[in-house]
Amino acid sequence: MENQIIPDEVIMTKIFYIRGQKVMLDKDLAELYGTETKKLKQQVNRNLNRFPNHYMFELTKEENELLRSQNATLKKGGHSKYLPFVFTEHGILMLSNVLKSESAVQVSIRIIDVFVRLREVYAEQTEVWLAIER
């Protein structure tokens, strides 16, 4: 997807709610950044000090299975033997620093814009519900 404008809808389908946070999977981010998941994880592992637990964490076996069972696009077979990393909004920003490409910076900006838009929509819906309940 390098050098293309990624539609918001594509990004939104790759955002999951895990451990009370909106996150994206390493494999989805690698695809959006135009790199291999293995290379993305290598860069993260070389820069672990930039990724505290509230920026990135590894899914548990149970979380991974639950995610697979809830999402038809996460089929069994053809997947990594390693548990995926997931990245919060802040972790996605940090990824653009460790991947060190202009493309990674632009993709990160697009993803963060979608995260911000989702927050705005949620805030608007909350205001509507509060107004209805009054």
Place of tokens 């918001």: 8
100: left (phi over 0), alpha (psi -120 to 50) or beta: left
In a domain, 101, yes or no: yes
Q: How many CA atoms lie within 13 A of 7 on its CB side?
A: 3
Q: What is the pTM of this model?
A: 0.80
Cβ neighbourhood burial of 112 (10 Å; 0-12, 13-18, 19+): middle
In a domain, 3, yes or no: no
In a domain, 65, yes or no: yes
Predicted confidence band of residue 76 (pLDDT cuts 50, 70, 90): low
Question: What's the one-letter identity of residue 47?
Answer: N
Q: Considering the chain, what percentage of its residues have pLDDT values greater than 70?
A: 90
Q: Which two tokens stand for residue 49?
A: 């000090």
DSSP H or E stretch at residue 16? strand 15-18
Across residues 67-87, what is the average pLDDT? 73
Amino acid 74: pLDDT: 52
In a domain, 1, yes or no: no
32-68: pLDDT as tens digits: 999 999 999 999 999 999 999 999 999 999 999 988 8
Amino acid 79: pLDDT: 58
Domain count, the chain: 1
Q: Which two tokens stand for residue 76?
A: 């069994």
Domain limits for position 49: 8-133
